[in-house]
Amino acid sequence: MAEIHIRNLVKKFQGNVTAVDSLSISIDDGEFVSFLGPSGCGKTTTLRMLAGLEDPTSGEILLDDQVLFSSSSGRYVPPEKRGMGLVFQSYALWPHMTVWDNIRFGLTQQKVPKDEQNERIASVIKLLQIQGLEKRYSFQISGGQQQRVALARMLALRPKILLLDEPLSNLDAQLRIEMRSELKRLHERLSNTTVFVTHDQLEAMTLSTRIAVMRDGKLQQYGTPMEIYREPANLFVAKFVGSPPVNIITRELSPKHFDSALKFLGKRGEGAEKIAFRPEAMMINPSAAAQESRWQMKGTVAAVLPTGPEWILQIESEQVLLFARMETEPKFAAGDHCTITLDTPAFLIFDAEDNRIT
Amino acid sequence: MMNPDDRSLTALVRRRLYRLRHDPTPFIAFLLVAALTYLVLGPLLALLSEGFRVQFRDISRIGEPKGSLTFYYLQRVFTSPVSESLFWLPLQRTLVMSLVTLVGSVLLGFILAWILVRTDCPASGFFTKMMILPYIAPSWTFALAWLTLFKNRRIAGPMGIMETLGYAPPDWVAYGFFPITVTLLFSLFPLSFLLFGSSLQSVDVQLEESARMVGARKEVILRKIVLPMLLPALMSSGLLIISRTIGSFGTPYLLGSPVRYTLLSTALYGAVQRGEQGIASILTMVIVLIGVAVVSIDIYFVKEAKRFVTVSGKGSFQNRQKLGILKVPAVLFLIIVLMVSIVLPIATLLISTISYRMGIFTLDNFTLDYWIAPSISQLAGISGILRNPDVIRSAWNSVRIVSVVSLFAGGIGTFIGYVSVRYSGSKIAGYLKQLSFLPYIIPTIGFGAAYLTLFAVRRGPIPSLYGTMFLIILAMSIKYLPFAARAGTAAMMQLGTEPEEAAMICGAPWRERFFKIVVPILKKTLITGIILPFISGMKELTLVIFLATPGIELMTTQVLRYIDYGYTQLANAVTVVIIFVIMILTLLLQKVTGSGITSGLRGN
Ligand SMILES: Nc1ncnc2c1ncn2[C@@H]1O[C@H](COP(=O)(O)OP(=O)(O)O)[C@@H](O)[C@H]1O
Ligand SMILES: [Mg+2]
């Protein structure tokens, strides 16, 4: 069992920076939860408080029934007693030790007997496929290998919880995809409760059982990847996940479209201030054939961007640029006129506070 | 019911105590803050206290009880009839001399840097290395060599080489303004050479190339693009040189005192020698204030300059200017500078120690007496330096003191770095940073005098340390702290906290983390941080002149003593030993770090 409960966690730094603002979240046993948000939103700080490296200003952290930190009772469990393994963004391998020694150091500290040490080191080395690097120093191995060693170093300690701080962000694109599936494989195999920090929505979407989207230290939404994508709690979440980004129509920038969309939505559109829809929900046709149950607007193709498996269209319509995604080759060139058609379910509707209404 | 605030307060205290056992960093921080506050600010406060209060010896003259507030010393230094000779004349001389030295060293440094960095001058690597040598030798080496060459009968001791050769130099050549300026210039030009050299190297070629693309001519590029970017180096080296000349003691003492050519530092020395504590404190304050002003200007300009200078370090692709027919004159110039600034002085010193009479170059004049004779008849039966108990004792003192200092300074520097990084951005880190920088600002002679002032008498629980080795160790450690602290902080910054935190998660206690993770990773930096203070300490004269008593002579003060007695050859021989030790250590340092010498200079 390894469940994490975070309650009203607050972290203020000197100079009155509130890095984490009353964060409450529960992570079930065996879950793979991602903290997702732009740089500076408090992800690393949260992770470090979980690990015990940073003192929260207030709040509580529980692991199962054990209180790891509580500002009201003053309880604090030091990092090494929390049973958590943390992989730093920089990997933080000790440069004066070989790969083998890097992995062994923690085992020695935990007073694991010699025989078992060797056994455990050999098994994590095999698990992470870094055989043959044992005698090398960190500057003698590649970034991807350093990443694996940093993971191995923590896994050798058999942590109940694995904490990963942007583990893929320092890798090149190819390696990143490889490591991503590696992480998924590891999680399926070991089924540790894992907390994963990233600013890459694609990583969060592909790996997580649940995603916690953060902004300015505040939790925006906590849910499965599909919930986050399809039912974003607010405009920030909608904009942050999905690529190309969600299209937004506002009353100020495109009043004509906005009014016509409101009229089309009828009762559903009450209180709406912004209307959004995903690129793949748009149907693009050369000319309009009026359809009662659908909403349409005219536009001009600004650019066609083939990505290989699909095509991204950039369409200009009433001074806004919209992105559309097509799976079949479009019969448009830049400058052509087109009609955009949307189904009712495609609409994401937000109120004046940017919260989603429906 | 318990007060909730109270409850969380006790909780906080309990948590803090619990954590302290696992992580003594707060404790270390507290110790550092307390100790450094006393050792850095204490001497300055002591100056204020001594300079504005009636001293015991002046009770009858001032007519007030001991310790009461007085402006007597202030008046004496600034407005009394003796102020002219006590302060104003030395100040004026010091400023003029600094200015001349400054202009000379900046010009020389710039020309050398240009030739070696921007032209296709041959053997530039070799010359660059050699040009730094004058900086490594103790600054008074040049004064000593000058005396050996040019001294006349005005002072005791054997005839100077020139006089033996038939030319008795007049006083103005032998002593005073001219030789002081020239010798200081030769010991200080490497500073501006290094600063200009590194900024010339880091000027982005693309900036110049863009200027060429828009049609600027060569001299326009030089004037409008390159020179403005050297402005920070110009300012910094200028101010650094002023600060050095104001704070230096050995050269003015050796070359100025025979003709009573007093500078600020020697005026202060005189006041201390006469036991005029109040006046000495006021003079020290003036020197400290000048030092602070100079460095503040430097900091201001460096900050200003940063706003418009972008250094991108693409210098390695610079295409070097072709010297053409100027190649021979340029190389000749370099050789002459090398000869005059390093070969000649050291050769003079060395030859004087193996000549029976200086200036005679015949085989029968050759002698090793000054090194190894059990008793030298010329010098009242004193023995050669390698078997002279005084020299051996002072050498042993130097080595002992400087060893402790380097460990001490290196250690404190490391801990300051550690605390600053662990608490980065906090008030404690900021305070430690400023405090550890302060000794850098204070001219060396003023620093030594301030230490004398603070520790000459018992103050509260702290006894008088005057006449103890411990005082010298303290003063040196704190004076060298800025370099050590900067090196320590830079290294720790680069390391970051994560390697240690990774060990923390593995369950390593603080001792293991510090000694098995932090220290081994920073091994190189730490060794540098230990060797550098060692080198500086071995050649330190100005700082210890007030603190070394006849009971604890150092090698450097031994040199002065011998000069006072007229034992020129012995003084020179001891100096040669010092230079030899320093060179060996510098080579060692280069081996350890791969670069070394320049890194300790200013540590950009
Ligand atoms: N040690 C610190 N001192 C002061 N401010 C900090 C410190 N660490 C982080 N912060 C601030 O807290 C906020 C959150 O930082 P962080 O958790 O590192 O963000 P993320 O990992 O999401 O990029 C940022 O505004 C950052 O500047
Ligand atoms: Mg981060």
**Ranges in chain A annotated CATH 2.40.50.140:** 247-350
Q: Could you give the C-alpha distances from B151 to B40, B175, B181, in angstroms and in order?
A: 40, 8, 16
Quick: pLDDT tens for B406-448.
Answer: 999 989 998 999 998 888 888 888 899 889 888 988 889 999 9
At A24 the three-state DSSP class reads strand
Contact (Cβ atoms closer than 8 angstroms) between residue A308 and residue A229: no
Q: What is the pLDDT of residue B358?
A: 79
CATH class of A4-240: alpha beta
The pLDDT > 70 percentage for chain B reads: 91
Q: What is the pLDDT of residue B7?
A: 55
Q: Which of B366, B391, B419 represents a domain boundary (last residue)?
A: B366
Instruction: For Cα atoms B469, B455, B32, give the angle at the middle one, nearest 5 degrees.
Output: 80
Q: Do the Cβ atoms of B501 and A110 come within 8 Å?
A: no
Residues with Cβ < 8 Å from B516, sequence gap 6 or more? A105, B503, B508
Q: Please report whether residue B302 resides in a domain.
A: yes
Do B352 and B377 have their domain in common?
A: no
Contact (Cβ atoms closer than 8 angstroms) between residue A54 and residue A218: no
Residues linked to residue B352 through DSSP beta bridges, in sequence order: none
Q: Do the Cβ atoms of A90 and B426 come within 8 Å?
A: no
Average pLDDT of chain B? 85
Q: Which of B315, B350, B366 represents a domain boundary (last residue)?
A: B366
CATH code where residue B232 lies: 1.10.3720.10
Q: Please report whether residue B34 resides in a domain.
A: no
Quick: pLDDT tens for A90-136.
Answer: 888 898 889 999 999 999 988 899 999 999 999 999 999 999 999 99
Q: Which of B366, B391, B423 represents a domain boundary (last residue)?
A: B366
Q: Whose CA is nearest to atom 4 of ligand 1?
A: A13
Contact (Cβ atoms closer than 8 angstroms) between residue B150 and residue B131: no
Q: Is B41 on the interface with A (CB under 8 A)?
A: no
Q: Is A51 on the interface with B (CB under 8 A)?
A: yes
Quick: pLDDT tens for B510-536.
Answer: 899 999 999 888 888 888 888 888 888
Give the containing element (helix H, strand E) for A164. strand A161-165
At A285 the three-state DSSP class reads strand
Torsion angles phi and psi, residue B593, rounded to 5: -100, -15
Label residue B313 by pLDDT band (50, 70, 90): very low
Q: Please report whether residue B53 resides in a domain.
A: no
Q: Please report whether residue B107 resides in a domain.
A: yes
CA of A118 to the centre of ligand 2 (A): 33
CA of A19 to the centre of ligand 1 (A): 6
Q: Do the Cβ atoms of A51 and B505 come within 8 Å?
A: yes
CA of A204 to the centre of ligand 2 (A): 15
Label residue B601 by pLDDT band (50, 70, 90): very low
Q: Do the Cβ atoms of A80 and B426 come within 8 Å?
A: no
Quick: pLDDT tens for A138-192.
Answer: 889 998 999 999 999 999 999 999 999 999 988 888 889 989 999 999 999 999 9
Q: What is the pLDDT of residue B62?
A: 81
Instruction: List the strands of the sheet with A247-250, edge to edge.
Output: A247-250, A274-277, A348-350
Contact (Cβ atoms closer than 8 angstroms) between residue B68 and residue B455: no
Do B188 and B276 have their domain in common?
A: yes
Do B307 and B389 have their domain in common?
A: no
Label residue B321 by pLDDT band (50, 70, 90): confident
Least Cα distance to B373 among B391, B360, B393 occurs for: B391
Contact A53 CB / ligand 1 (< 6 Å): no
Domain count, chain B: 2
Q: What is the dihedral sign for C-alpha B425, B427, B428, B430?
A: positive
Do B355 and B437 have their domain in common?
A: no
The DSSP string of B199-263 is: HHHHS-HHHHHHHHHTT--HHHHIIIIIHHHHHHHHHHHHHHHHHHHHH--HHHHHHHGGGT---
Q: Whose CA is nearest to atom 26 of ligand 1?
A: A40
Distance CA B344, CA B366 (A): 19
**Ranges in chain A annotated CATH 3.40.50.300:** 4-240
* Between A340 and B198, the higher pLDDT residue: A340
Contact list, B19 vs chain A (CB under 8 Å):
76, 78
Percentages helix, strand, coil for chain B (3-state, rounded to 5) are 75, 0, 25
Instruction: For Cα atoms B222, B225, B226, give the angle at the middle one, nearest 5 degrees.
Output: 60
Quick: pLDDT tens for A331-343.
Answer: 888 889 999 999 8
Contact (Cβ atoms closer than 8 angstroms) between residue B533 and residue B402: yes
Q: What is the pLDDT of residue A41?
A: 95
Q: What is the pLDDT of residue A211?
A: 97
> Running DSSP on this structure, what letter comes out for residue B309?
-
Do B406 and B481 have their domain in common?
A: yes
pTM higher than 0.95 for the full model? no
- The partner residue sitting opposite A80, judged by closest CB among B18, B505, B516, is B505
Q: What is the pLDDT of residue B142?
A: 93
Q: Please report whether residue B15 resides in a domain.
A: no
Do B398 and B333 have their domain in common?
A: no
Label residue B398 by pLDDT band (50, 70, 90): very high
Q: Is A300 on the interface with B (CB under 8 A)?
A: no
Do B239 and B128 have their domain in common?
A: yes
Do B555 and B406 have their domain in common?
A: yes
Torsion angles phi and psi, residue A227, rounded to 5: -60, -45
Do B360 and B375 have their domain in common?
A: no
B491 to chain A, closest Cα gap in Å: 14
Do B146 and B238 have their domain in common?
A: yes
Q: What is the pLDDT of residue A349?
A: 93
Q: Please report whether residue B38 resides in a domain.
A: no
CATH 3.40.50.2300 for domain A247-350: no
The pLDDT of B187-216, averaged and rounded, is: 78
Least Cα distance to B571 among B269, B158, B175, B182 occurs for: B158
Quick: pLDDT tens for B56-106.
Answer: 888 888 888 888 888 889 999 999 999 999 999 999 999 999 999 999 999
* Between B78 and B296, the higher pLDDT residue: B78
Percentages helix, strand, coil for chain A (3-state, rounded to 5) are 30, 30, 35
The yes-or-no verdict on residue A43 having pLDDT over 90 is yes
The yes-or-no verdict on residue B404 having pLDDT over 90 is yes
Quick: pLDDT tens for B241-268.
Answer: 888 888 889 999 999 999 999 999 999 9
Chosen for mutation from B2, B506, B513 (greatest number of chain A CBs closer than 10 Å) is: B506
Do B160 and B226 have their domain in common?
A: yes
Instruction: Looking at mean pLDDT, say which of A1-10, A339-348, B367-376 comes out highest.
Output: A1-10
Which structural domain, as residue segments, surrounds residue B587? Answer: 371-598
The yes-or-no verdict on residue B599 having pLDDT over 60 is no
Do B487 and B356 have their domain in common?
A: no
